[in-house]
Amino acid sequence: MANEKYYPVQTRKSDLVMRHGIFSGNGAGNGVIPAGLWEQLIVSATHTATGTYAIVLDKSYPQLKHVVAFLVNGTTASLEAFVTAIDVTAKTATIVTSVGGVATDMGTNDTLYLKLSVRNSGRNK
């Protein structure tokens, strides 16, 4: 045993990345994307109906692995948000915000935080 040799195990890079996005409410208007954020996932948040936002992502990815975190923080009491559709290949998502199951627009003091785990290449499916 004293003469055994050990070698490090080499594997391929996983190519999984975590992406973060933020936007703030604007009443019945489009979501406001904060300026100056490094690596912002969300390019635009278009208000399409009461409490509904069509999201455009900054890059296309081959596969969504997980919606890791999804949070709404602000002054609208009991405001919840749901991802109702997401296609990371097409760079689109739909998010609905509501209070007590009734679609509700995000106020100017409400901010939505989104964190995704995506595959960045064709490897390691």
Instruction: Give me the residue spans of the domains in the chain.
Output: 16-119
Yes or no: say if 50 and 59 are a contact pair by the CB < 8 Å rule.
no
List per-block mean pLDDT (blocks of 10 residues) for the chain, which spans 125 residues: 60 76 94 85 95 95 88 92 94 95 95 91 57
Q: H/E/C letters for each residue in 33-74? A: CCCCCCCECEEEEEEEECCEEEEEECCCCCEEEEEEEEEEEC
5: which 2 tokens? 């040799």
Q: Is the pTM of this model over 0.85?
A: no
3: which 2 tokens? 């003469």
